[in-house]
Structure 1
Amino acid sequence: MYHSVICKTQPLGEALLRCAQQQLLKRNCSAASSVLSNFETLAIKVPKPFVYHVELNRPEKLNAMNNKMWMEIGKCFDELSQHPECRAIVLSAAGKLFCAGIDLNDMSSMGAEIGEHDDVARRCKVLDKKIKAYQDSISSLEKCCKPVIGAIHSACVGGAVDLITAADIRYCSKDAWFQVKEVDIGMAADVGTLQRLPRAIGSSSLARELAFTARKMQASEAKDCGFVSRVFDDKESLVNGAIEIAADIASKSPVAVQGTKLNMVYSADHTIQEGLDHIRFRNMTMLQSEDFLEAVMAQATKGDPPKFSKL
């Protein structure tokens, strides 16, 4: 249907020529790509075109999440969301395990900050600000318009579960295990697990069991319940597999992929009709993109996959 509409509105040869000219102009005249910030607790690599690999990088501390890491995660994914060179992201971790959860030693600084105030209202304000900052940091993965693939090996504990539940796709290695640890340290998880885990596994009963008991969930169970979609033999094959999937995603139209994520995130919190309305209003514009024309023609002619412009 769309092919016929395009052909009626403009000669096909002229349309393709115009698209090619526009792409060439953009590639030759585009400004230098934005530069990412430097991070102390994260390592960022580009293993494939348009694929960014973010590693938690405190291996000497078992990648425990200190305040610096919490803040840098949010900053990193906010920047990658806007970075024109990035179309897909792999999130993994350096060292022998994925993440040991909250850095309890670092929590003393928060205690000192709270201790500066005698009044409960002032203490609550400090905690509210800190928790909100951590929530926003985790939510940056979900709000990032680029797909995020979590690649988890060995232990994934506490705050790390919050982190990966905000990813779009989750893979793990055979030695991976997951633990909602917060009740063991006298608190309720407050930065995303209690909201996202039930949706991720599709079972309120299992999610509550894991959250109430703090028991470990092994890789096989995580696969069976749908928390992860693939299990790899080891960390190396896990990371390589995640990067290959990310490269495949990055080869697609960024207009299409980002629009797909945007609508799927939106639809999770809205009715089916609201989700349909949302994508209809978006595609009123996006179906006029050069990406759509090029992809349709490549499929129709069975030619080489198109090279999409940066977005």
Structure 2
Amino acid sequence: MAKSEYECFDVEIENNIAHIRLNRPEKLNSMNKAFWNDLPEIVEDIDQNARARVIVISSTGRHFSAGMDLSVFAPDPDNKIDGADKHVVAEMFRSNVRRIQHSFNALEEARIPVLFALHGGVIGGAIDMVTAGDIRWCTKDAFFCIQETNIGMTADVGTFPRLQRYIPEGWVKEMAYTGRRIDAAKAKEIGLVNDVFETQEECLAYVMQTAKEIASKSPLAVTGCKVLINYGRDHNTTDTLDYIGVWNAGMFPPSHIQEAVAAMGEKREADFPDLLPLRKTPM
């Protein structure tokens, strides 16, 4: 078992499951500068060094997350922009947004599944975060809100390209244009979450059990599923089928299939090789 602590997160890795827990409840788990820096570092370390086969993300306190911490919007005292060309300032803003977007892109780009156990408020930037994962579950007290509209801005960290993959466009627009909350029951009805639980403990227990089941499967098969499902989401059927053929031509694993069948026949856990760590630097 391995544990690490960060300003905004606790991280525990055990039995091939990495559990990342937002742990700044006194601030409603709002996303300060440390959050944006630490999250991709944690996820990429787990993924690139093959430390686990699945990631579970949960939270503490009253709310999953209140979204962006207002401190993120404070001027950087080391960045003197007074009197600077407005176009240069706009380029700097765009580049900074792209860096923040990368923090959630890391969840989607990870080779392993990312599962969310949600409770309380999932607000603003938290919508961006959870839609970058693979599967979401929540408690009955959970609610979801595109808060950016309520504070006079347009969500810019991933809500719109990702949320409309999971729920009908009409619901994306209603949530975005009005800034209204939707409750857990509605979130399940429209497909944002897979199921709703009475308590946070029940929700997390179910998600961890699901993670355990995923971790028992061939990591190569699971990462193949993630790659091809995401590819199929963004490409037509013909292109996706062709890519599946290319994938299996290079990574079809007879030995993994034989082990899975043998384990089922012998009523035991299958023994599959883990994914390999990635290079520290590009080739």
The two structures have a TM-score, normalised by structure 1, of 0.83
Report the CA distance shift for 1:116/1:73 in structure 2 as closer, same or farther (over 3 A): farther
SS at match of 1:106: helix
2:135 counterpart letter in structure 1: I
Mean CA deviation greater in 112-121 or 79-88: 112-121
How far apart are residue 286 of structure 1 and its match?
A: 2.0
Residue 309 (1) aligns with residue 276 (2): no
What is the percent sequence identity of the aligned residues? 36
Whether contact under 8 Å (2:4, 2:12) holds in the other structure is no
**Which sections of structure 1, spanning at least 5 residues, go unmatched?**
1-32
Name the residue aligned to 2:229: 264
For 2:113, the aligned partner's letter is P
1:292 shift after superposition: 2.4
1:55–1:91 CA contact under 8 A, matched in 2: yes
Match 1:57 to one of 15, 20, 23:
23
Contact 1:114 1:123 in 2 (8 A): no
How far does residue 38 in structure 1 lie from its aligned partner after superposition?
A: 5.4
C-alpha displacement of 1:43: 0.7
SS for the counterpart of 2:137 is strand
User: Would the aligned equivalents of 2:122 and 2:142 in 1 still touch at CA under 8 Å?
Assistant: yes
User: Rg larger in 1 or in 2?
Assistant: 1
In 2, Cα distance between equivalents of 1:258 and 1:129: 30
Q: Normalising by structure 2, report the TM-score.
A: 0.91
What is the match of residue 217 of structure 2?
Answer: 252
Q: What's 2:119 paired with? A: 153
Contact 2:263/2:269 (CA < 8 Å) preserved in 1?
A: yes
Deviant stretches of 4+, over 4 Å? 35-38
CA distance in 2, matches of 1:38, 1:224: 36
Is residue 42 from structure 1 mapped to residue 3 from structure 2 by the alignment?
A: no
Q: Is the 8 Å Cα contact of residues 114 and 126 (structure 1) preserved in structure 2? A: no
Q: For each residue in 1:31-64, what CA deviation from the matched residue of structure 2 results, as whole angstroms up to 9, or x when unmatched? A: xx9x897532111113x41011101121121100
Equivalent residue number for residue 273 of structure 1:
238
Partner Cα separation in structure 2 for residue 116 and residue 39 of structure 1? 34
Secondary structure of 1:105's aligned partner: helix
C-alpha distance 77-196 of structure 1, shift in aligned 2 (>3 A)? same
Which of 79, 84, 109 pairs up with 1:143? 109
Which residue in the other structure is 1:164 paired with? 130
Q: Give the paired residue count.
A: 275
With over 3 angstroms needed to count, the CA separation of the structure-2 counterparts of 1:281 and 1:263, relative to structure 1, is same
CA shift for structure 1 position 207: 0.6
Point out the structure with the larger helix share.
1
